[in-house]
Structure 1
Amino acid sequence: MRPSNAKVDRALPSLDTLLERSKLPGFDGFRMIAVMSVVLYHAGVGTIFSARHGVAGFFVLSGFLITWLLLKEFDRSGRVSLKDFYKRRTLRIFPAYYAFLLVSISWDLYRGNTSVEPMILPSVFYWVNYHNALAGHSSTSLTHLWSLAVEEQFYLIWPLIFVLAMKSGRKVAIAFLCVAVIGVMFWRSYAFSVLDWGTSYVYNAFDTRFDNLAVGCLLAFALANLQVRRILEALSSKAWMPLVTISLLFLSLRAFDDNYRYGPAFSIDAILLGILLIQFLRLSEGWAWGWLNHPVSVYLGMISYPIYLWHVWGIQAGHKLGFLPESLEIVAGIGASILLAAMSYHLIEKPFLRLKGKRLLSSHKPSAKEGAL
């Protein structure tokens, strides 16, 4: 006999149990949803979980995982090796990124597409977000790299801030993050509604998007608190709860004007995405959301980074198949994106990822959580 929903819900593992695992369940499924929302948007298909929320979801997830790992290392040894941190980030991010740049820029120039030229230096030096913020979004194959620039700028400064703040204790680090979230929210609202700097700036700039990452960082600190964990367990105890969170995200995007959408909404959405992340963490162990841990979901989440890198080329390849119906062109474009991403992951990323546990790192062996970032 199939167990009732209530019985299954009561059987969900606690956050205490889940957070001790070397690989957190549901997170790859979250990555899959986030990256596919972006791919579908660029393919011209709208989704309830929008591309805007997909990108913000990656920011929240990155902030959480990086801070969670830093806290684990700090609790274990009383210190954080910045040298090892930057080595791990270099091995995880740079090989696939610069391989994509080499192929993409070379192909564009070979085709005579000179519109890519102004994007070359910003992309090489992870400055695409401010290029887009100041010059507006172009239609080149490198424009989408703005979000990776935001993340790289975060990786550059946050570990340094973390180390300095933790010298004075967790409360100082938490206070900094709270002030950052509130401060960035007000600054973004002021830049958009008063200074009239436009959507491109507030959407792309690090100084107007850091709150998304800071919310993820705060979530990592908050989970160390028993009372917060119990509240989050209550919010992730029933299978229908993620649907409420997703509905609130949809309403946040649709129900208000631009002054809200490009002001407070980014911060509020990040909080909702943090709740959704915890809901997926627990409920992916249950009957309704178990598909988040299906091997297909896990694999697509695992290669979400190269999918994001290559999806523009994949979608364009699908559009070349003009003899197919439009829906099949989109399917072919998504398939091409996944194929390119799989090649990048297995031929470029995995050999470098294997180095992360070898002599290159002096004192820290990365966990499966970090390896999946």
Structure 2
Amino acid sequence: MTTVAAAPVELDVSDPPHFPALDALRAVGALAVLVTHVAFWSGDYGRHGYAGTLLSRLDVGVAIFFVLSGFLLSRPYLARAAQTLPPPSTRSYLWRRFLRITPVYVVAALLALALLDDNADLGAPTWATTLLLGNTFVDPLPPAGLTHMWSLAVEVCFYLLLPLLMLAATGRRGRGLSTARVVTVLVAMTAVTAWWHLHGADWADTWTGGAPGQWLPGYLSWFAAGIGLALVHVLATRGSATARRLLAPGRQAGACWTLAGALLLVAATPLAGPTVLVAPTTAESLTKNLLYTAIGVLLVLPALVADERSGFGRAFGHPLARRLGVVSYSLFAFHLLVLHAVMAVTGWQVFSANGPLLLLASLAGSLVLAEVGYRVLEVPAMRLKRLVPPRRAEPIVATTATSGTTER
């Protein structure tokens, strides 16, 4: 079907377009991480052959989060650059990021450090390092109950780096948006990731006691994929026929998700490394990273152009699906604490638990804590964002027909 460009409409670049399906996609990422951790703890990774390996590859949920972050956080910069406007306020941006992650993380960290027996002997320096999200830089593993927080540390590093990346990609006000310049930055980010997997992490491991494999350079490709999607979306709203063609496959959500599933099946083969507790080769590590990059793009793309009347749009726009997405950060943050609690109450041992029952109990407890965390911690914290207001809004012109979203 040929898409006819809509008439230009004014929009406020400080109030970016909303993508309802992305809320539900956050839930997909969080639930995938929860399921893969339950499968590891229960021992299902090793008990079910290829199916167990497939469960281990649900850590692709982290890639979904990173692609989403790259898209959502870079798009305001690219949209403003396209209209030769100054970038978003760095102070406001960093303040919002601080409010978004800190309250939930600090509470989760304090609960894990104070309540879990495995953390009983940790001293004040480790507590301080943990509260500052610095474990992966100095320790092989974070404390018990917080081992999944390496990905949050990567997110924070990306938050800090993003304004510099956007400066490199867009330049200063008045130069407009150069596609070639942005693509050059994305290629460089991907090249850094490739080098890190092949050489950089091993090099860093010679001079650090931390876990270089869990540092930002190893995942820049996932963020780059999100920034690339943001670039295409901005260009499409400005009438680029090429960008519209690049977005068009997203309207075939079933095909995109089927292809993503096929790539996940490939990732579950030895090409992407062993299942558990054995370090992959550098080639296997890079292969897994690149496969996850492609999977992340294929899953996010349909959510950017979702038609609310389609089956995909209705499913991902359903209030329950979107609510799960809204509370997904708290779900992610607290689910390992719930896993510890379930194992303690049931008396199950690691690698020998009942997988389905462990999943049901952990999911139920995590959903309750997620709702509490969202209402008690996230909502009050985000009310403070007004203390550091964003840059005053300036109108720009864009079209909406190609994205299927309303920009206002």
TM range (shorter): 0.7 to 0.9
Structure 2 residues not aligned, in runs of 5+: 45-51, 274-280, 394-408
Cα shift at 1:355: 2.6
Amino acid at match of 1:332: A
Summarize the alignment of residues 72-83 of structure 1 with structure 2, pairs less than 5 Å apart: 72-75=79-82, 77-83=85-91
Aligned to 1:307: 331
Alignment counterpart, residue 354 of structure 1, candidates 378, 383, 386 = 383
Does structure 1 residue 297 correspond to structure 2 residue 321? yes
Cα shift at 1:66: 0.4
Cα deviation, 1:182-223, whole Å, max 9, x if unaligned, reads: 2321331234799998xx946412222222112211221132
Runs of 4+ aligned residues of structure 1 deviating over 4 Å after TM superposition are 10-17, 45-49, 73-76, 115-119, 191-197
Aligned to 1:249: 264
Aligned to 1:4: none
Aligned to 2:199: 190
Alignment counterpart, residue 184 of structure 2, candidates 145, 161, 175 = 175
Amino acid at match of 1:233: A
Does structure 1 residue 273 correspond to structure 2 residue 277? no
- Describe the SS at the equivalent of 2:234: coil
Aligned to 1:127: 134
State the identity as a percent. 22
Amino acid at match of 2:29: A
- TM-score (norm. length: structure 1): 0.80
Aligned to 1:57: 64
**Distance in 2 (alpha carbons) for counterparts of 1:145 and 1:15:** 43
**Distance in 1 (alpha carbons) for counterparts of 2:2 and 2:369:** 40
Aligned to 1:229: 244
Amino acid at match of 1:361: P
Summarize the alignment of residues 310-349 of structure 1 with structure 2, pairs less than 5 Å apart: 310-322=334-346, 326=354, 327-349=356-378
Alignment counterpart, residue 221 of structure 2, candidates 202, 211, 214 = 211
| RMSD of aligned alpha carbons | 3.5
**Distance in 2 (alpha carbons) for counterparts of 1:116 and 1:50:** 34
User: Does the 8 A contact of 1:239 with 1:283 survive in 2?
Assistant: no
Alpha carbons of 1:193 and 1:332: their partners in 2 closer, same or farther (altered >3 Å)?
same
- TM-score (norm. length: structure 2): 0.74
**Distance in 2 (alpha carbons) for counterparts of 1:120 and 1:67:** 33
The structure whose RCO (Cα within 8 Å, separation 6+) is larger is 2
**Distance in 2 (alpha carbons) for counterparts of 1:331 and 1:341:** 15
**Distance in 2 (alpha carbons) for counterparts of 1:148 and 1:15:** 39
Structure 1 residues not aligned, in runs of 5+: 1-9, 366-373
User: Does the 8 A contact of 1:303 with 1:345 survive in 2?
Assistant: yes
Cα shift at 1:148: 0.4
Cα shift at 1:174: 2.8
**Distance in 2 (alpha carbons) for counterparts of 1:146 and 1:15:** 44
Amino acid at match of 1:219: L
**Distance in 1 (alpha carbons) for counterparts of 2:222 and 2:6:** 22
**Distance in 1 (alpha carbons) for counterparts of 2:392 and 2:368:** 33
User: Does the 8 A contact of 2:71 with 2:230 survive in 1?
Assistant: yes
- Describe the SS at the equivalent of 1:224: helix
Amino acid at match of 1:130: F
User: Does the 8 A contact of 1:284 with 1:291 survive in 2?
Assistant: no
Greater Cα offset, 330-339 or 316-325: 316-325
Alpha carbons of 1:179 and 1:40: their partners in 2 closer, same or farther (altered >3 Å)?
same
